[in-house]
A and B are shown apart, each in its own frame.
Chain A
């Protein structure tokens, strides 16, 4: 079974802090994704990566950056946290190189981040 592990289930940070959300997958998947889930808005793609050191902007990249130094790990960084970044953050992975995958994504259990 594919396992996508997010380092924290709940996180509380203060405005202006630099926040790191970590995600690890154990199935050697090429593609990894970061989403945020907000009520009434569904899942919105922040960034994705289809290879080590590669990244692509999603629909809402502003205020975020990502890092993929190893294939199994994809980090989401909030450079200077703001209250409007309070949300549920979901990491996902999927196989096949190049990003052109019709394989379903496997999700972690999410990190509920509160910015005070």
Chain B
């Protein structure tokens, strides 16, 4: 049973537009959420995170929104750039889970020129 779900395996967005990647979770004990970005033949790199006490966190072109009641988070990238083409993983953990992070299955984002 997947506790962190990314239901869209792929997404194609035109350069300059907004990219929205979605993630749902089932475990109400999760209180910290992260997004990682992965290029082919490289390991994932940390992008942005959000604690459950917040509903929004922004870092440059990247914003993560958290809706605790819906158990849903999203990553917004605006404006989208060609270098944003990658696989994005949503991840979640609870404070008592001893750093055990649960990852989603990933969404492949392609930015069209």
Please list the residues of chain A having a beta carbon within 8 angstroms of any beta carbon in chain B. 4, 9, 31, 33, 35, 40-45, 48, 50, 56, 58, 90, 92, 94, 98-102, 104-110
> What string of 1s and 0s marks CB contacts (under 8 Å) between B34-47 and chain A?
10100001111110
* Contact present for A45 and B101 (CB under 8 Å): yes
Within 8 A of A (CB), among B67-91: 89, 91
* Contact present for B45 and A107 (CB under 8 Å): yes
* Contact present for A104 and B49 (CB under 8 Å): yes
Given contacts A4-B43, A109-B43, A110-B43, contact A99 B105 (CB under 8 A): no
Partner of B41, one of A33, A107, A109: A109
* Contact present for B46 and A105 (CB under 8 Å): yes
23 contacts between A and B (CB under 8 A): A9-B41, A33-B99, A42-B4, A42-B6, A42-B89, A42-B104, A42-B105, A43-B44, A43-B89, A45-B100, A48-B99, A48-B100, A56-B100, A58-B100, A90-B43, A90-B44, A94-B99, A100-B95, A100-B99, A102-B32, A107-B45, A109-B43, A110-B41
Partner of B98, one of A9, A100, A106: A100
State the 4 A-B residue pairs at the shortest beta-carbon distance, nearest first.
A107-B43, A104-B46, A99-B98, A43-B103
